[in-house]
Structure 1
Amino acid sequence: MDEMTIKLVAIDIDDTLLSSTGKILPSTLTSIRAALAQDVKIVLCSGRPLAGIRPFLNELGITGPEQYVIANGGGMIESVTGQVVAKHLINNADYRRLTAFAKARQLPFNVVDPDSEIITADHDIYWLIAVQAWENKAGILVREPDELPADFQIAKGVFVASSETLDNIEADVYREFGEYLYVVRAARQFLEVMNPNAGKGQALQDLAGKLGLQPDEVMAIGDEGNDVAMFKFAGTAVAMGNGTAEAKEHANFVTSSNNDDGIAEAFDKYVLD
């Protein structure tokens, strides 16, 4: 154990908390429940909305108004009971710009509103957007910006396409929006755009501040580029063995993969007495 005790562990969900078959390993369940029994806060951090995170909270036994999630890639900090602690949204004008940009390039695009609804202006819904909606227990609304209220705001926008398509378009998205919005590759097939005050790292810093915790009391575990901002804040940064080269480069420790008890290994090393 380090000199300072870990009091909060922020954990990415996909390919980190979950195995490649989308399950929580028994060793992960045991470790997280042991940490909760030591009064360590376990904060699930995901691009998913709260509705899509809730099944895992239930399985892990994370309950009550004093436990928190970082949802929508950092656009929302909420208690697991649904009380909003902080939200950083994208305004209506920028939502319209993003939608127009996607249409002009025939790029599949959807947004997530603060209530976890998935909305797209694409009448032919890209298959992966439908899968995301199903996984997150969300509906899909097909709406043009003009069909929504003039003050409609979004938690995030998501360009969804093959990894090759996003590789080709990513620089254009940065050029167009990167100066005033937060653009991050959340996974090979997802390029997310958020309020510049959002992002997992900023959200983790804000939540730690609210809870009176120092960075040395925080551990972050993840596998992707959008987890690096958490790594930069947390005193202890753990990359999964299955993680990207970028994630591993910014970690203090590379644990085993999400299929090989990587979470349990990290908890044994840093968290559990």
Structure 2
Amino acid sequence: MSELTRAPIRFLLSDMDGTLLLPDHSLSRRTIEAVRSLREAGVLFSLATGRPPKAMLQQIEALGVDLPTAAFNGGTLVNPDGSILVAHYLPATAALTALALFADRSDVEVWVFSGGDWLLKDPDGPMVPREQHGLGYPPVVVDSFEPYLERIDKIVATSNNADLLIELEALLLPKVQEQAQVSRSQPVYLDVTAMQANKGAALATLAEFLGVPLEHTAALGDGGNDPAMFHQAGLSIAMGQAEEAVKRQADVVTGANTEDGAAQAIEQYILNHPHRAAL
């Protein structure tokens, strides 16, 4: 669909890490200003991320987000007051299958998110400092994940060996088919969530909640968990540093997150839409 015929955007749902955020997890001034201009133009804006809800609070405040947001890849939708709008938990059978597959891999760290906590067995894993910096809070060390099986929001296998995570993704998918979503939110993170926990479903739910037809929505992201919302949105935008497989599923590609690509996309494809003033 050409820029001239595409419907003007009334709601933008954006990924956070690798999209709005710089590699150090900060927001650039240009991105903050672009989101402010978006909201001043009457375009609704919210966030969809693999992060837990409490790891979004700083960005929600900085960007002035006053709508429900999607955490855990869409598994949990959270109202602005912190109450839960929707929550989907990973089935215990799928959780056990994933944990068993990841258990004997010496170069893979396994994390479980449950009840707002980040749970792990090894607090000295090499990926822990990166995650703690990104989340803004420390993990809880446990001896076993079993007590949490009935209420797991997300399991993460993480490793600096990105090729290994691709291999594990391919191995796990057929084992949990129709039970769980398996996707790499970033090259070094393999996420396992409930089947209903995907950003596409989150976009559709939020659009309906807000009364915005899907053809008037846009999705912006960079990871393997973002095409699910690309396929629902009227306009899908991939970040410049995204893997080729992600870019191919988007309508357009913007600059990298290190180049203020999210702000570029907002300015070029949404604020400067030829029919924006008609809304």
TM over 0.5: yes
Match of 2:11 in 1: 8
* TM norm structure 2: 0.87
Instruction: Tell me how far apart the structure 2 counterparts of residues 129 and 99 of structure 1 sit (CA, whole Å).
Output: 18
Q: Secondary structure at the match of 2:256?
A: coil
Question: 1:188: how far off?
Answer: 1.1
**2:179 is equivalent to residue 176 of structure 1:** no
Write out aligned runs for 1:65-84 (5 A).
67-84=67-84
Question: 1:21: how far off?
Answer: 3.4
Q: Secondary structure at the match of 1:127?
A: coil
Q: Using the aligned pairs only, state the percent identity.
A: 26
Q: Is the 8 A contact 2:178 2:195 kept in 1?
A: no
Unaligned runs of 5+ in 2: none
Give the number of equivalent residue pairs: 266
Instruction: Tell me how far apart the structure 1 counterparts of residues 32 and 257 of structure 2 sit (CA, whole Å).
Output: 13
Match of 1:226 in 2: 225
Q: Deviations over 1:194-214 (max 9, x none)?
A: 111111111111211222221
Distance 1:125 1:235, change over 3 A: same
Which of 138, 155, 160 is the equivalent residue of 2:153? 155
Q: Is the 8 A contact 1:118 1:133 kept in 2?
A: no
Q: Deviations over 1:47-88 (max 9, x none)?
A: 11111111111111223xxx1211111111112321211111
Q: Is the 8 A contact 2:127 2:158 kept in 1?
A: yes
Instruction: Tell me how far apart the structure 2 counterparts of residues 74 and 119 of structure 1 sit (CA, whole Å).
Output: 20
Instruction: Tell me how far apart the structure 2 counterparts of residues 138 and 266 of structure 1 sit (CA, whole Å).
Output: 31
Q: Is the 8 A contact 1:49 1:71 kept in 2?
A: yes
Question: 1:12: how far off?
Answer: 0.9
Match of 1:268 in 2: 267
Match of 2:49 in 1: 46
Distance 1:206 1:220, change over 3 A: same
Match of 2:116 in 1: 116
Q: Is the 8 A contact 1:96 1:145 kept in 2?
A: no
Distance 1:231 1:111, change over 3 A: same
* Deviates further, 95-104 or 67-76: 95-104
Q: Is the 8 A contact 1:12 1:227 kept in 2?
A: yes
Distance 1:145 1:25, change over 3 A: closer
Question: 1:32: how far off?
Answer: 0.5
Instruction: Tell me how far apart the structure 2 counterparts of residues 85 and 259 of structure 1 sit (CA, whole Å).
Output: 33
Question: 1:14: how far off?
Answer: 1.1
Question: 1:130: how far off?
Answer: 4.4
Match of 2:240 in 1: 241
Question: 1:136: how far off?
Answer: 1.2
Distance 1:89 1:134, change over 3 A: same
Match of 2:141 in 1: 142
Instruction: Tell me how far apart the structure 2 counterparts of residues 2 and 241 of structure 1 sit (CA, whole Å).
Output: 24
Instruction: Tell me how far apart the structure 1 counterparts of residues 123 and 40 of structure 2 sit (CA, whole Å).
Output: 48
Write out aligned runs for 1:53-132 (5 A).
53-63=56-66, 67-106=67-106, 107-113=108-114, 115-120=115-120, 122-123=121-122, 125-132=124-131
* Deviates further, 30-39 or 85-94: 85-94
Instruction: Tell me how far apart the structure 2 counterparts of residues 70 and 197 of structure 1 sit (CA, whole Å).
Output: 12
Instruction: Tell me how far apart the structure 1 counterparts of residues 151 and 223 of structure 2 sit (CA, whole Å).
Output: 27
Q: Is the 8 A contact 1:118 1:141 kept in 2?
A: yes
Q: Secondary structure at the match of 2:13?
A: strand
What stretches of structure 1 move > 6 A for 4+ residues in a row?
none
